[in-house]
Amino acid sequence: MIDPVPSLRHTIADDLRAQITAGTLKAGARLASEPQLAADYKVSTPTLRNALALLQAEGLIEKIHGKGNFVRVPLRRLTYADGRLTPDADLHITIRTTNLRARGGLIPLLKVPSGTPLTEFLYLTHQGELPHSMARIYVPQNLAAAELPQHRSSVAKSRDQVSARLPTSEEASTLRISSTLAVLSITRVSTDTTGRVVEAALLAVPSDRAELLFTTHHATDEKGQEG
Amino acid sequence: MIDPVPSLRHTIADDLRAQITAGTLKAGARLASEPQLAADYKVSTPTLRNALALLQAEGLIEKIHGKGNFVRVPLRRLTYADGRLTPDADLHITIRTTNLRARGGLIPLLKVPSGTPLTEFLYLTHQGELPHSMARIYVPQNLAAAELPQHRSSVAKSRDQVSARLPTSEEASTLRISSTLAVLSITRVSTDTTGRVVEAALLAVPSDRAELLFTTHHATDEKGQEG
DNA sequence: GAGTGGTCTAGACCACGAG
DNA sequence: TCGTGGTCTAGACCACTCA
């Protein structure tokens, strides 16, 4: 029912995975070269590389062309709650601001006419030295553009649309992840009491370094409305 | 910046992808055999297979051993909102009920002592003939066990923990997805007004067939609490 | 049995990184 | 330049499906 014939690459991947989780291969350490590992396991190099590809997809190793294969330093799995990352000591955020005009998918998202002046905030979050996640936040310029989005207090309602997908090649290189590691993609639209869109945020978080948390309160004094 | 050297397999995958999205290769159709395609594109069979692996990871094709490669019938991308799937005409759900006792991870999740009698509802959702998603819902037996979870109205608060991961081999075979296609994993814990856990739901949804929607209301009559 | 995909081999040649 | 990983070849052999 599970896997009746453990293939060579799975056997090798299992062995290396055990060494990583046991600490025999420590975080940041470089694995032996691929031809060397292939000789050790008595397989061809493509087979050895297939085994490494499995570990890469799990986020356990990082391949660096010309240098070697390295055990990934595990990032703490942070929690996104209420649209914000859990505060963390060695978390730092870089923000780049750009002015642009509404086009394409931004128009229905922000419910503005084409060409409306917008401000884009590009958030790059790092945990220590390593990239953690990235976000693009769009704000109409007529809504206190000088103010950073996270500081505005006029938000009455937020709508988070969550999906998982493979990273774009830009995201894969910026976040230094394999193109086979899924990212959680969150589109968050915040509106004020009048229903006007105050900001739209597009987040991309590698699936191995964050979980999302949503809390819903139900009106229980009006029984039966759930069914 | 993007991919400066389009590899052969990417070129082939792009071509096949275009044929699928253009409708030249229709949903459910069988592709030419791998040796045939390899000859058509003038590449070796491993290279051709690497190209197909890309499309498989995207959920565009389904490989069936001994039969061929088939264009996947795209499932409508449904929305999970408020812990429920969007109602759909050809959506049907199979429920299997099992009684068991609290163990392992269920104990902290449900906040019950080890060995507490529980009822497990295994939900299998199909869209037409194809499996869509699966869920395991756990309810303490002292809480109206005869009633199906979705009918209870005593829920005051729900907490959804969302992450993306590769499917277990059981999920991959049950849901008929490639082991490389990520699933959205949702752990939903519902409590009543006294804080007692009413039910815990563990959902697994292939990332290509659902998106999640969460709405948060903020108290705006108390300004400044956001900052 | 015929045809299909699944796995693996034993190389070759190219591209990247560091000295 | 040298060692590394990245891509690709041209096969071989096994396992599964269906007639």
Which chain B residues contact residue A218 at CB under 8 A? 155-158
Rounded to the nearest 5 degrees, what angle is found at the Cα of A9, between the Cα atoms of A8 and A12? 85
CA-based nearest residue in chain B for residue A218: B156
pTM, 2 dp: 0.85
From first to last of the 227 residues of chain B, give the pLDDT tens digit: 434 567 899 999 999 999 999 999 999 999 999 999 999 999 999 999 999 999 998 889 999 999 999 999 888 889 998 888 888 878 889 999 999 999 999 999 999 999 999 999 999 999 888 889 999 999 998 875 455 555 556 788 999 999 999 888 788 888 888 888 889 999 999 998 888 999 999 999 999 889 999 998 876 544 433 32
Helix/strand/coil (H, E, C) string of chain B?
CCCCCCCHHHHHHHHHHHHHHHCCCCCCCECCCHHHHHHHHCCCHHHHHHHHHHHHHCCCEEEECCCEEEECCCCCCEEEECCEECCCCCEEEEEEEEEEECCCCHHHHHCCCCCCEEEEEEEEEEECCEEEEEEEEEEECCCCCCCCHHHCCCCCEEEEEEEEECCCHHHHHHCCCCCCCCEEEEEEEEECCCCCEEEEEEEEEECCCEEEEEEEECCCCCCCCCC
Helix (H, G, I), strand (E, B) or coil at A150: helix
Residue B16 CA to D13 C1' — how many Å? 29
Q: Rounded CA gap, B50 and B11, in Å?
A: 11
**Is the CB atom of residue A126 positioned under 7 angstroms from any atom of strand D?**
no
Taking the CA of residue A25 and the nearest CA in chain B, the distance in Å comes to 23
Q: Which domains does chain B have, with CATH numbers?
A: 8-71 (1.10.10.10), 78-212 (3.40.1410.10)
List chain D nucleotides near protein: any atom < 7 Å from a Cβ: 3-12, 15-18
The yes-or-no verdict on residue A152 having pLDDT over 80 is no
- Output A120 or B130, whichever has higher pLDDT: A120
B81 touches chain A (CB under 8 A): no
Contact: B215, A158; criterion CB under 8 Å = yes
Q: Which nucleotide is nearest to A5 (CA to C1')?
A: D15
A174 touches chain B (CB under 8 A): no
Q: Rounded CA gap, A193 and A188, in Å?
A: 16
Contact: B158, A216; criterion CB under 8 Å = yes
Is residue A206 within 8 Å of A178, Cβ to Cβ?
Answer: no
Contact: B159, A225; criterion CB under 8 Å = no
Cβ burial, residue A124 (10 Å; 0-12/13-18/19+): middle
CA-based nearest residue in chain A for residue B78: A163
According to the model, what pLDDT value does residue A201 have? 95
Taking the CA of residue B149 and the nearest CA in chain A, the distance in Å comes to 10
Q: Rounded CA gap, B84 and B81, in Å?
A: 5
B87 touches chain A (CB under 8 A): no
